[in-house]
Amino acid sequence: MGPWWHGFFSYLASGPPGPRLRRLLALSRAGVVRFVGADMTVTADHERGLFRAHSASVPGRYTEAAALVEARLPAPTVDRSADPLLRALRAEAGATPAGLLAVDPDDGRVLDPTGRPHPRLFALGPHTDARASGAFARPGTNAPAFRQNDATARAALLALRALPVRAAPGG
């Protein structure tokens, strides 16, 4: 699934639950919350102590406020991750132009920059290019996310089984 599909799915299927949406709408109708629009840009007016937001989708209009709540989700990317493990992994693994870890879609093995799967390195989740949507995966449904996790678990167990057995220290 590429970024387009993920965005489309998130637009249709994600978001706050119904009761929270109704509260947000009530706050908007009361003038407490203001929606700005798509492609929002915010600047800080330090002299006046205000934030000024405007949107490319609503030209000529802007909103000023003394407080700003940033609530968007950044795009998952290993390139901009602050996590040291992901950064180290990115240094060894292949990545897509979007900054996602390249993995084998069949078993989740991390691919090196030449496209070869690592024998014992696996990755799942939003930082990979083989993401299976798990937003509405329910037990007993055999959802794509479950199938992907199962395939990766089987491959990891086979990789572990192939490792030489070492005696425990002192044993």
pLDDT of residue 2: 57
Would you state the structure tokens that stand for residue 161, as one six-digit string?
Answer: 């089984």
Percent of the chain with pLDDT over 90: 18
Res. 135: pLDDT tops 60: no
CA atoms of 100 and 94, how far apart (whole Å): 9
**pLDDT tens digits, one per residue of 23-79:** 989 999 998 888 888 888 889 888 998 889 999 998 888 888 887 776 666 677 777
pLDDT confidence of 3, banded at 50, 70, 90? Answer: low
